[in-house]
Chain A
Amino acid sequence: MTDRLPLHASGPAQAVAAGSARLAPDLLRRLPAILTASALLLIALRLHLGWQEVVTCKTAPDPASGHASGACSLARLTFASALLPRLAIGLVAGAALGLSGLLLQRVLRNPLAEPATLGITAGAQLALAIATLFLPALLTLGREPVALLGGLGTVALLLSLTWRKGLDPVSVVLGGMMLTMMAVAASAALIIFNGDYVFSLFVWGGGSLVQQDWQATGILGTLTLAVALCAVLLRRPLTLLSLDDRAARGLGLAVITLRIVLLALATGLASAVTAHLGPIAFIGLGGPALARIAATGGSGTASGTSSGGQTLSALVISATLLSVTDSALALTIGREFDRIPAGAATALLGGPLLLWVLPRLSMLRPGERRDTGSLPPAPTGPLQQSPARLALLALGLVLACALALCLGRNGQGWQLVTGADLADMLPWRLPRILTALAGGALLATAGVILQKLSGNPLAGPEILGVGAASGVGLCLMLLIVPLAGSELRLAASTTGALLATLLILRLATRAGFSRERLLLGGVALGAFCSAILSAVMAMGTPVSYQLVAWMTGSTQSATLAGGLALTGSALGLVALLLGLGRWLDLLSLGDPLARSLGLPLRPARLTLIALGAAATALATLSIGPLSFIGLVAPHLARLGGFAHGRAHVIASTLCGGMLLVISDWLSRQLAFPYQLPLGLIASLLAGPYLLWLLGNGRSRLH
Chain B
Amino acid sequence: MTTASGPVASLTDREPLFQLDGISLERQGREILPPLTLSLEAGRVHALIGLNGSGKSTLLNILARQIRPDAGSLHFLGQRLTDYGGRELARLLAYMPQFPPSSDGMRVRDLVALGRFAWHGTLGRFSHRDRDKVEDALAATGLTAMADRVVDSLSGGERQRAWLAMMIAQDTRCLLLDEPTSALDIPHQVDMLELLRDLARSRDMSAVVVLHDINMAARVADRIVALEAGRVIANGTPDAVMRADVLSRIYRVEMHTMPHPASGKPIGFPA
Interface residues of A (CB under 8 A from B): 2-4, 6-7, 11, 14-15, 377-378, 380, 383, 452, 455, 579-580, 582-583, 585-586, 588-590, 592-593, 595-600, 638, 643-645
- The chain A residue with its CB closest to the CB of B106 is A644
Query: How far apart are B83's CB and chain A's nearest CB, in angstroms?
Result: 15
Measured CA separation A592–B176 after assembly (Å): 12
| 7 A-B contacts (beta carbon < 8 Å) | A7-B58, A377-B152, A380-B150, A582-B117, A586-B114, A586-B117, A595-B66
- The chain B residue with its CB closest to the CB of A455 is B101
Given contacts A585-B114, A600-B86, is CB(A377)–CB(B102) below 8 Å? yes
Query: How far apart are A121's CB and chain B's nearest CB, in angstroms?
Result: 36
- The chain B residue with its CB closest to the CB of A382 is B150
Q: Are A598 and B114 in contact (CB under 8 A)?
A: no
Q: Are A592 and B66 in contact (CB under 8 A)?
A: yes
Interface SS majority for chain A:
loop
What are the residues of chain B within 8 A of A7 when measuring CB–CB? 27, 32, 58, 61, 67
Given contacts A2-B52, A7-B32, A599-B86, is CB(A644)–CB(B105) below 8 Å? yes
Contact stretch, chosen from B37-45, B92-100, B246-254, B262-270: B92-100
Q: Are A596 and B122 in contact (CB under 8 A)?
A: no
- As a 0/1 sequence over residues 97 to 123 of chain B, the CB contacts with chain A under 8 angstroms (1 = contact) are 110111111110010001101100011
What are the residues of chain A within 8 A of B46 when measuring CB–CB? none
What are the residues of chain B within 8 A of A583 when measuring CB–CB? 122
Query: How far apart are A383's CB and chain B's nearest CB, in angstroms?
Result: 6
The answer to whether B206 has its CB under 8 Å from any CB of chain A is no
Q: Are B28 and A15 in contact (CB under 8 A)?
A: yes
What are the residues of chain B within 8 A of A582 when measuring CB–CB? 114, 117, 122
Most chain A CB neighbours (cut-off 10 Å) among B93, B97, B98, B104: B104
- The chain A residue with its CB closest to the CB of B100 is A593
Measured CA separation A363–B226 after assembly (Å): 39
The answer to whether B64 has its CB under 8 Å from any CB of chain A is yes
Measured CA separation A575–B87 after assembly (Å): 24
- The chain B residue with its CB closest to the CB of A452 is B104
Measured CA separation A579–B122 after assembly (Å): 8
Q: Are B150 and A590 in contact (CB under 8 A)?
A: no
Contact pick for B110, options A2, A6, A593, A644, CB 8 Å = A644
Contact pick for A598, options B53, B101, B117, CB 8 Å = B117
Measured CA separation A590–B163 after assembly (Å): 14
What are the residues of chain B within 8 A of A595 when measuring CB–CB? 65-66, 86
Q: Are A598 and B123 in contact (CB under 8 A)?
A: no
Query: How far apart are B32's CB and chain A's nearest CB, in angstroms?
Result: 5
Q: Are A11 and B28 in contact (CB under 8 A)?
A: yes
Query: How far apart are B61's CB and chain A's nearest CB, in angstroms?
Result: 7
What are the residues of chain A within 8 A of B67 when measuring CB–CB? 7
Q: Are A598 and B91 in contact (CB under 8 A)?
A: yes
What are the residues of chain A within 8 A of B152 when measuring CB–CB? 377
Given contacts A582-B117, A596-B90, A598-B91, is CB(A589)–CB(B58) below 8 Å? no
Query: How far apart are A518's CB and chain B's nearest CB, in angstroms?
Result: 15
Measured CA separation A638–B55 after assembly (Å): 41
Most chain A CB neighbours (cut-off 10 Å) among B87, B93, B102: B102
What are the residues of chain A within 8 A of B87 when measuring CB–CB? 598
- The chain A residue with its CB closest to the CB of B103 is A589
What are the residues of chain B within 8 A of A455 when measuring CB–CB? 101-102, 104
Measured CA separation A6–B25 after assembly (Å): 11
Given contacts A3-B54, A6-B30, A7-B27, is CB(A596)–CB(B66) below 8 Å? yes
The answer to whether B255 has its CB under 8 Å from any CB of chain A is no
Q: Are B28 and A3 in contact (CB under 8 A)?
A: no
Interface residues of B in 117-169 (CB under 8 A from A): 117-118, 122-123, 150, 152
Measured CA separation A383–B107 after assembly (Å): 8
The answer to whether B56 has its CB under 8 Å from any CB of chain A is yes
Q: Are A590 and B98 in contact (CB under 8 A)?
A: no
Most chain B CB neighbours (cut-off 10 Å) among A452, A580, A589: A589
What are the residues of chain B within 8 A of A645 when measuring CB–CB? 110
- The chain A residue with its CB closest to the CB of B115 is A597
What are the 3 closest A-B residue pairs judged by CB atoms, nearest first?
A: A598-B90, A643-B105, A598-B118
- As a 0/1 sequence over residues 59 to 79 of chain B, the CB contacts with chain A under 8 angstroms (1 = contact) are 001001111000000000000
Query: How far apart are B55's CB and chain A's nearest CB, in angstroms?
Result: 7
Query: How far apart are B47's CB and chain A's nearest CB, in angstroms?
Result: 15
Most chain B CB neighbours (cut-off 10 Å) among A11, A592, A596, A645: A596
Q: Are A2 and B179 in contact (CB under 8 A)?
A: yes
Contact pick for B105, options A383, A589, A592, CB 8 Å = A383
Q: Are A593 and B97 in contact (CB under 8 A)?
A: yes
Measured CA separation A580–B117 after assembly (Å): 12
What are the residues of chain B within 8 A of A378 when measuring CB–CB? 104-105
What are the residues of chain A within 8 A of B122 when measuring CB–CB? 579-580, 582-583
Most chain B CB neighbours (cut-off 10 Å) among A4, A15, A380, A383: A4
Query: How far apart are A106's CB and chain B's nearest CB, in angstroms?
Result: 35
Query: How far apart are B146's CB and chain A's nearest CB, in angstroms?
Result: 13
- The chain A residue with its CB closest to the CB of B123 is A579
Measured CA separation A483–B109 after assembly (Å): 54
- The chain A residue with its CB closest to the CB of B126 is A582
Measured CA separation A430–B170 after assembly (Å): 49
Q: Are B118 and A2 in contact (CB under 8 A)?
A: no
Contact pick for B104, options A14, A592, A643, CB 8 Å = A643
Q: Are A589 and B114 in contact (CB under 8 A)?
A: yes
The answer to whether B181 has its CB under 8 Å from any CB of chain A is no
- The chain B residue with its CB closest to the CB of A4 is B57
Most chain A CB neighbours (cut-off 10 Å) among B27, B67, B114: B114
Q: Are B57 and A3 in contact (CB under 8 A)?
A: yes
Query: How far apart are B171's CB and chain A's nearest CB, in angstroms?
Result: 12
Measured CA separation A15–B52 after assembly (Å): 23
Q: Are A4 and B61 in contact (CB under 8 A)?
A: yes
Q: Are A599 and B117 in contact (CB under 8 A)?
A: yes
Measured CA separation A266–B211 after assembly (Å): 53
Query: How far apart are B66's CB and chain A's nearest CB, in angstroms?
Result: 5
Query: How far apart are A457's CB and chain B's nearest CB, in angstroms?
Result: 9
